[in-house]
Chains A and B, each alone.
Chain A
C-alpha cells in the first residue's frame, strides 16, 4: 500500500515562527498536495506539485510556500506563523491526474 508520512502529528508554534511541515510518500507518485481542513470549511488546497521542483498555487496559498526537491518529499512552509493558520494540515499524493488521493495522517498545528 502507498504510504504517505507526515513528520509530526501535533505541533505547537509561536506567532511569527517559521514552520516546516514535511511529507514523504513511498510509491513514486507524481502528484503531491497540501490541504488544510477546518470545521465547516472542508478541505482547502494550499499548494500542489506535479513534478520535482514544480509547484502550483492552490486556493489559499497566502502565507505559505512549498518545496519539492525530491520526488518523494513535499514540504509546506509557513513563513511567519499566525494564529489563523491553526488548523489540521493534510498531505496527499496520487499517481496522476484523475486518480484518487492517498492522504497522510495529518498534522494538527496550533499557533499561539
Chain B
C-alpha cells in the first residue's frame, strides 16, 4: 500500500459545481496534512494545511480530516476554470518526513 494514495483522475466537473478531491494514507502517526495546487509546467503551491479532525475553510476551499478513517479531502466550491490543475496531498508522518501523493488532475469545464 502506498503511503499516500490519490486517484490520478482526471476529475471533470462543470463550472460552478463542487469538486471533491480525496486522499487516503497509511501512517496512523501522521500529524500534519497539506494540499498543494500545481498548474501544468509550474511548481506546487500550498493552498491548505490541516492538523486536527474536522473541517477547515478558507474561501472556496474546505479541507476535511478524519484521522480514524485515515483520509483527508479537499472541497472546492463554485469551481472555476482557473482551478484546473493537479492537486497534491501531502502529510507529515513518522520521522518528521513529508510524503506527497502523486496528485489528482482536476478539469473544470466551462
Determine the chain A residues whose CB is within 8 A of the CB of B51 once the complex forms. 98
| A85 CB-CB contact with B under 8 Å | no
Known: A105-B43, A106-B43. A100 touches B100 (CB 8 A): no
Known: A103-B43, A103-B44, A105-B43. A98 touches B102 (CB 8 A): no
Determine the chain A residues whose CB is within 8 A of the CB of B36 once the complex forms. 100
Contact B43 A98 (CB under 8 A): no
Determine the chain A residues whose CB is within 8 A of the CB of B102 once the complex forms. 40-42
Determine the chain B residues whose CB is within 8 A of the CB of A98 once the complex forms. 31-32, 51, 92
Determine the chain B residues whose CB is within 8 A of the CB of A40 once the complex forms. 102
- Nearest neighbor of B97 in chain A, beta-carbon distance: A45
Closest beta carbon of chain A to B40's beta carbon, Å: 12
User: How far does the alpha carbon of A41 sit from the alpha carbon of B88 in the complex, in Å?
Assistant: 12
Chain A binding site: helix, strand, loop or mixed by DSSP? loop
Closest beta carbon of chain A to B4's beta carbon, Å: 9
- Nearest neighbor of B103 in chain A, beta-carbon distance: A42
User: How far does the alpha carbon of A90 sit from the alpha carbon of B32 in the complex, in Å?
Assistant: 21
Contact A103 B45 (CB under 8 A): yes
Contact B42 A105 (CB under 8 A): yes
| A84 CB-CB contact with B under 8 Å | no
Determine the chain A residues whose CB is within 8 A of the CB of B103 once the complex forms. 42
B residues with a Cβ closer than 8 A to A are: 31-32, 34, 36, 42-46, 49, 51, 88, 92, 96-98, 100-103
